[in-house]
A and B are shown apart, each in its own frame.
Chain A
Amino acid sequence: MMGRTIIPIGPYHPLQEEPEFFTLTVEGETVVDIDVRIGYNHRGIEKLSESKTFENSTFVIERICGICSTSHPFAYTRAVEDVFPMEVPIRAKYIRTIIAEGERIHSHLLWLGLAGHFLGYNTVYMWAWKLREEILDALEILSGNRNNYAMFKPGGVRRDIKAEDIPVCLKKLDSILPTLDMLKKAVLDDPVLHARLKGVGVMTYQEAIDFSALGPTSRASGVARDVRKDSPYGAYQEMEWDMIVTQNGDVFDKAVVRILEMFESAKIMKYCLINLPDGEIDANIMDVPPGEGIGHIEAPRGETFHYVKSDGTNRPVRHKVRAPTFMNLPTYKATVQGETISDATIILAAIDPCYCCTERIAVKDDRGHLLYNGKDLIRLSREKTEKMKRRMGVR
């Protein structure tokens, strides 16, 4: 029988009986089971969509997830356009691509900062989030807001990009590249991070296929799939850029994929800003015909999929929303079991779930006694990094 120690660390989590997002059952230091409970952010958006017109729905859809606030309207407007089917004007495609790639960069930077926070690399946290501000400034100049851009509408985009804003944004993009390079080297060349993250939380290629995992989470396991390449949309076929795929499927690889993707996104964004074609920005859809449409695009976390059914009126009969994290969350069964609790936080963060998800973790023994909460796990994760640094003589 494994000896179980209950170490009272700080205040106990006040809600011992409440279902958490993640409940880990441990024996000693090893996670033997994980249960995921979602629904804390369920706001009935699919039902709300049925009572809004096609165009008004876009504003609700933007607020499904704050950090993916471009990808949901992008997929939704593509779904509505697919009912016809129709294509939007080329200038609108470029503008959509610019906003989408800007979002990818700041979303990956957010993730990098949080990963640094969980590992005890607070400098990475502060630098990544400070760098993020530059991209948010660029997006604010282009669209008027740091997030929730309200740029998308079925048929095109709602607002145009002014020619005088383009050089300012290009300058901002160029200004972040040296720091991004520094962050890349700080993470990829750090021997402590190699020791800490390599081989941790591995998902094999076959597991990625069985779970239909998406985005960087699956590309890190060798699945060479990206909606921008497989089912092209927007302006992604207009320039050369690389899909980043690695083979090991561990947390380190997931970090590598996200970091390198940021450089590709900057490349795409710059190309689109420099080569923005003239023309209309809106196809001026009047009525959506009866039928069904599907729109799917590559969000920072993977494929976002929207399905729309129309009966010819101005409201959808059915609007199905599927965020990428819905397919990636179940992969925890494969990646966390058998790992230690000090690695649990970083493995859970590696799929890039909503920030709030990673706050609510409970660790229990197999009799259901609460051992640690989410804050404790972050502390354990940082302590492991410190121990490794001391062992490796790094300071």
Chain B
Amino acid sequence: MSLKLKALLKSPWVFHLSTGSCNNCDIETLDCLTPRFDIERFGMLLVGSIKHADVLLVTGSCNRMSVERMKAMWEQVPKPCLVVAIGTCAGSRGIFKDSYNCPVPLDQIIPVDVYIPGCPPKPEAIIAGAVKLIEKVGSTL
């Protein structure tokens, strides 16, 4: 198990998933790949399939329709997989906590390792969160 995590430290492969968001967090996450922030120089790669993911980046407030899909995807992902909740919606649903379509926050459905609050968190904050994640993994090895 520690072999995968060691590989993760060198080059984490991230898969992005939205559970019903306004897309701001998704756009700021994608922004991290663009020249100004360029998260690829840290070895982070956005992958197209959940079966290749080491890290799951989740945004959104877990609305009823998206949550079914997310649960099924969580079963598909090879463990260990770290989960990063990007944005206040993924953290606790934020202003949508009383919405009839958002019953529970993300961390009651799947285990979350890192929370990056913000609405949306700036790309600098997302990168700082990614660094904390790598430090957290590194400290467990």
Contacts and interface: CB of A to CB of B under 8 A. Distances in A.
Interface residues of B, number: 39
Contacts, number: 107
Interface string A91-112: 0000000000000000000100
Given A44-B101, A130-B36, A69 B63 contact: no
- Size category, A interface: 35 or more
A60 B119 CA distance: 11
Given A14-B76, A67-B27, A354-B23, A43 B63 contact: yes
A211 interface: no
Nearest to A147: B24
Given A146-B122, A355-B27, A18 B22 contact: no
Contacts of A42: 20, 63, 65, 101
B104 interface: no
B47 to A, nearest CB: 10
Interface string A294-327: 0000000000000000000000000000000000
Contacts of A146: 28, 122
B66 to A, nearest CB: 5
A170 B38 CA distance: 27
A43 B61 CA distance: 8
Interface of A: 10-11, 14-15, 18, 39-45, 47-48, 51, 59-60, 63-67, 69, 110, 126, 129-130, 133, 146-148, 354-356, 359, 375
Interface of B: 18, 20-28, 30-31, 34-36, 48-51, 60-61, 63, 65-66, 68-69, 72-73, 76, 95-96, 98-102, 119-120, 122
20 contacts: A14-B73, A15-B69, A15-B72, A40-B63, A41-B20, A41-B66, A43-B61, A44-B102, A45-B99, A48-B96, A59-B95, A65-B22, A66-B21, A66-B25, A67-B27, A126-B35, A130-B36, A356-B18, A356-B21, A375-B49
